[in-house]
Structure 1
Amino acid sequence: MKRNLLILTITVMLSTTVSGKIIKRQLSIFQNSVPETETLARGTMEFVYDYRCCIDTTNIIEDNISSDNMLLQIGPDGLSKFSSYKNLTVDSLLMRSSQEQIANAALEGKLSNGEFMTIYKNYPAGRLTHTEKICQDWFSYDEDMPCFDWELMDSVINVLGYECQSAKCMFRGREWTVFYTEDIPLADGPWKLHGLPGLIMRASDEKGHYTFECIGIKSKADRPITIYKVPFNKVKRSDYYDTKHRYEVNPYAYFEATTGGHITVSDETGNIQLDAYDPIELPFDYIELDWKK
């Protein structure tokens, strides 16, 4: 189902550290429609994860931690989907609201998007598909289901009442430590992580730049596992990262180059920021560190 909306709003914000260095530029665009979806299967179980990533690894404080709640939907034949719970909520709100209600919700900040990264495991069978929206465009790439050379460890913790054993491995430049429970016999987990004899309940890289922790479980679910029916730009994984990087070092220039639009960026006092279109150096790196190769 597709719902046309009246609203198309662009919000820009410059974020700075205490030293005055710009660490992130944000470009939020409220779309004028909710994409149609295709149902892949009915989900059978759902797990909510608190996802956190550090957007300034030179100064790891709470203000520099970006977070979102992510939903892991489990389907038949190993199919699963890992996506933003906030985006599902926003889509639902848009579909059942009047245009006036939508406009009011936007003004109240209730239509802010979550993480656009979506990971499908075993879609298609034996493959992993990553979809993501970058600026106004949708991208996707697929790859063989990644192999993780897990080393089982001795540490044990409790997550949501489940006893969890630990394991670690190197994957694409980061060392991951995870905690999984055999009480939930699913060889799945957040993001691309999988392959243990139980659900991965907590995961973090060695520096704490990326973390996932299960905070909610629905053992019986029938929410459909869907995918947007949009014209994906199908690319290689390396090309996806190149595009994402080009956008994040200068979202305003990327927006202008790909849409023909123009953005005037002003500070809080209304002064035009003449250097807003200059590229910046990102003070963080992506979850997979091999993207530059």
Structure 2
Amino acid sequence: MKKIFFLLPFLSLVLTDSYAQFSMLDPRFSDDFIIPENYWEPKDTLANHVDFVCIFEYNVVDTVLHEARNYNLILQCSDTVATFSDFYDYKEDSLITAHHRKITVGEYRPIFNQAMRESSNYNYCLFYKRNFYRRNDSFIGRSFYYEESLPKWDWKLYEETRRVCGYVCHKAVAKHAGRIWTAWYTEEIPSNAGPWLLYGLPGLILAATDNTGTHSFEAISLQKPALPQLLWKKKTIKQTRSYSLKSEYNQAFHASSLFEAAGVVSDTKFEDKRRFYNPLELE
């Protein structure tokens, strides 16, 4: 059974695993200690090859709190499926594969620390040929997922161009879930993929901004894949998109009472205050 501790407000969620009583936070485990294999979360193989990976910087602003956050996320693409998740997840998978699951605390610590600082909680998998996507999510340490049909983007194409990550990109505009998105795609990379749920243009989407200017994605690096296979977290408890959106809202506005009701242990008293909130989907 896992115990949940909140050492920093909300995002600094640390799961202390019962796996052989190992914890990355326990000072008894030195940098030379080899992490138990059952510490690593099992993954499914979605595709046996990866065509390319693209790292994006994602910026989001909460205009009420006057607070901005940025994350590095990674898009991995094959010919039938694409995933979009936190970059540290990819680093972890690469480390596990390269070291055959024999990893020391010291080798893993930089990734672990990054995960504690920079988790966006965005984990999307788009199955293009099967016309649906899956999102992995979590709420108060409880993992779940939901599946939905891929959104239908009614893109309007423009002649305007700009360079992103060294590529000539063309402008396109469409609306989804209450926001109007301006995307920039390059025909130099023959893929209809993009960050998040953005897709369906005649070239890879390398940048996108919503009409409020509070959400933006921009490619900062295209790389050859470090992993031979496209890996993804195994299914957990199935929920719905509305459940996920409601959970995101509750985490921002009712977190204190929900944490206490769930029996969450904290080193400080929960404050009943508004937390960072600016969802990608408004409806």
Bucket of the pairwise TM-score, normalised by the shorter protein: 0.7 to 0.9
Matches within 5 A, 1:35-184: 35-41=41-47, 42-54=49-61, 56-58=62-64, 60=66, 64-77=67-80, 79-90=81-92, 95-99=101-105, 101=106, 105=109, 109=113, 112=116, 114-122=119-127, 125-184=130-189
* TM-score, normalised relative to structure 2: 0.79
Structure 2 counterpart of 1:130, which letter? R
- Give the secondary-structure state (helix, strand or coil) at the position aligned to 1:243: helix
RMSD: 2.9
Q: 1:206 maps to which residue? A: 211
Deviation for aligned residue 1:88: 2.7
**Aligned CA distance change for structure 1 residues 223 and 51 (closer, same or farther; 3 Å):** farther
Partners of 2:12 and 2:254 in 1: how far apart?
A: 10
8 Å CA contact 1:176–1:203 kept in 2: the answer is: yes
Establish whether residue 187 from structure 1 lines up as the match of residue 192 from structure 2.
yes
8 Å CA contact 1:44–1:222 kept in 2: the answer is: no
Partners of 2:57 and 2:107 in 1: how far apart?
A: 27
2:251 to 247, 252, 274: 247
Deviation for aligned residue 1:221: 5.8
Establish whether residue 262 from structure 1 lines up as the match of residue 265 from structure 2.
yes
**Aligned CA distance change for structure 1 residues 218 and 200 (closer, same or farther; 3 Å):** same
Structure 1 counterpart of 2:88, which letter? K
- Give the secondary-structure state (helix, strand or coil) at the position aligned to 1:13: coil
Deviation for aligned residue 1:161: 1.8
Structure 2 counterpart of 1:36, which letter? P
Deviation for aligned residue 1:158: 0.6
- Give the secondary-structure state (helix, strand or coil) at the position aligned to 1:187: coil
Establish whether residue 289 from structure 1 lines up as the match of residue 274 from structure 2.
no
- Give the secondary-structure state (helix, strand or coil) at the position aligned to 1:288: coil
8 Å CA contact 2:178–2:281 kept in 1: the answer is: yes
Partners of 1:117 and 1:86 in 2: how far apart?
A: 12
**Aligned CA distance change for structure 1 residues 162 and 34 (closer, same or farther; 3 Å):** same
Establish whether residue 12 from structure 1 lines up as the match of residue 15 from structure 2.
no
Q: 2:22 maps to which residue? A: none
Write out per-residue CA displacement over residues 219-273 of structure 1, whole angstroms, 9 at most, x where no aligned residue.
566442122225x221121111112222233444433433x333241xxxxxxx5
Partners of 1:28 and 1:50 in 2: how far apart?
A: 22
**Aligned CA distance change for structure 1 residues 234 and 124 (closer, same or farther; 3 Å):** farther
Partners of 1:70 and 1:76 in 2: how far apart?
A: 20
Partners of 1:45 and 1:93 in 2: how far apart?
A: 18
**Aligned CA distance change for structure 1 residues 126 and 26 (closer, same or farther; 3 Å):** closer
Partners of 1:256 and 1:166 in 2: how far apart?
A: 47
Partners of 1:186 and 1:166 in 2: how far apart?
A: 16
Structure 2 counterpart of 1:35, which letter? E
8 Å CA contact 2:74–2:90 kept in 1: the answer is: no
How many pairs are equivalent?
Answer: 255
8 Å CA contact 2:5–2:264 kept in 1: the answer is: no
**Aligned CA distance change for structure 1 residues 102 and 249 (closer, same or farther; 3 Å):** farther
- Give the secondary-structure state (helix, strand or coil) at the position aligned to 2:8: strand
Partners of 1:12 and 1:250 in 2: how far apart?
A: 18
Write out per-residue CA displacement over residues 90-148 of structure 1, whole angstroms, 9 at most, x where no aligned residue.
4656854335x379x38x94552522221111178211111122231112111111101
Question: Any gaps of 5 or more consecutive residues in structure 1?
Answer: 1-6, 15-24, 266-272
8 Å CA contact 1:68–1:86 kept in 2: the answer is: no
8 Å CA contact 2:43–2:231 kept in 1: the answer is: yes
8 Å CA contact 2:143–2:237 kept in 1: the answer is: yes
Question: Any gaps of 5 or more consecutive residues in structure 2?
Answer: 18-38
The answer to which of 110-119 and 178-187 deviates more is 110-119
Write out per-residue CA displacement over residues 46-74 of structure 1, whole angstroms, 9 at most, x where no aligned residue.
111111111x21365xxx22111111111
